């Protein structure tokens, strides 16, 4: 069955809009994570950015202490964050590109252009008992590089698919890229996750992509929660995932 990892970053974004710089505030992303777990989420995803624009260090440590499923830490391959991850010991780290100017993560990681640095971090994480995922575009060279780096998982960047969803021609072209990427990764013995821009409208068509293990979804679920409540939003997304055949 296709698994759901809920990204709680946007809960922290809402809190930081009012309580930035304070030790407490609402809504609490850790409390939100527990609601998501109770509603059936397989795991919790959080991105500790270098500029701490949403999740704070205290959030990450409390998530590690409180959640009962598994923690996927999204992170840049920077010395500070690598050091935190090695102490935190999340179940998985997902290495992503990161720029201070961006609103959200733009594009996939350049695994092919950073083989040495990413391989070093992958080894350090694996030695600490942490699985490694690379957030990459469905590009053959990047998928091949991910296998060479030795990552256990790739997360296919679905942003181009989501952004082109209103155009059948562009959408279908992006869908074919995802299908080909998933097949290539599976043949290289990589687990295949996907995420970015997925929502209640574009997710059903993604079922055409084979070998998917997990979807990581945040903004759409948090947005839906404003109207339906967080637990209901998670359950509605899970219902859309039930018919995935793999």
> Which residues, in sequence order, are bridge partners of residue 43?
5
In which residue ranges of the chain is pLDDT below 70?
99-106
pLDDT digit string (tens) for 37-60? 999 999 999 999 999 999 999 999
Q: Which domains does the chain have, with CATH numbers?
A: 3-241 (3.20.20.70)
- Catalytic residue list: 47, 74, 196
Q: pTM here?
A: 0.94
Q: At what angle do helices 29-38 and 9-19 cross, to 10 degrees?
A: 150
In 99-218, alpha helices (H)? 115-127, 140-149, 159-163, 168-187
Q: 100-110 as b/e, with b when 16 or more CB fall inside 10 Å?
A: eeeeebebbbb
pLDDT score for 98: 75
Residues in the chain: 246
Contact 135, 158 (CB under 8 A): no
Measured on CA atoms in the order 234, 36, 152, 142, is the torsion positive or negative? positive
pLDDT score for 102: 47
pLDDT score for 42: 98
Contact 152, 134 (CB under 8 A): no
**What is the chain's alpha carbon radius of gyration, rounded to the nearest angstrom?**
17
Return the residue matching tokens 């929660």. Answer: 225
pLDDT score for 241: 97
pLDDT score for 246: 80
Report the C-alpha gap between 94 and 100 in whole angstroms. 18
């Amino acid at each position: 069955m296709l698994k759901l990892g809920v990204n709680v970053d946007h809960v922290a974004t809402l809190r930081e809009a009012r309580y930035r710089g304070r030790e407490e505030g609402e809504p609490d992303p850790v409390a939100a994570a527990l609601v998501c777990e109770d509603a059936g989420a397989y795991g919790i995803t959080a991105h500790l950015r270098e500029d701490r624009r949403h999740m704070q260090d205290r959030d990450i440590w409390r998530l590690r202490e409180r959640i009962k499923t598994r923690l996927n830490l999204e992170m840049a391959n920077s010395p500070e964050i690598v050091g935190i991850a090695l102490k935190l010991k999340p179940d998985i780290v997902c290495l992503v590109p990161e720029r201070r100017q961006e609103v959200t993560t733009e594009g996939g990681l350049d695994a092919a252009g950073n083989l040495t640095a990413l391989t070093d971090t992958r080894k350090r994480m694996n030695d600490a008992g942490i699985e490694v995922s690379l957030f990459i575009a469905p590009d053959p060279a990047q998928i091949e590089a991910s296998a060479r780096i030795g990552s256990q998982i790739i997360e296919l960047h679905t942003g181009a698919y989501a952004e082109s969803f209103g155009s059948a021609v562009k959408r279908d072209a992006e869908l074919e890229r995802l299908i080909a990427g998933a097949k290539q990764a599976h043949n290289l013995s990589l687990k295949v996750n996907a995420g970015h821009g997925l929502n209640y409208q574009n997710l059903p068509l993604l079922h055409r992509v084979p070998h998917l293990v997990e979807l990581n979804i945040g903004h759409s679920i948090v947005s839906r929660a404003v109207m339906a409540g967080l637990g209901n939003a998670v359950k509605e997304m899970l219902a859309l995932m039930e018919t995935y055949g793999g």
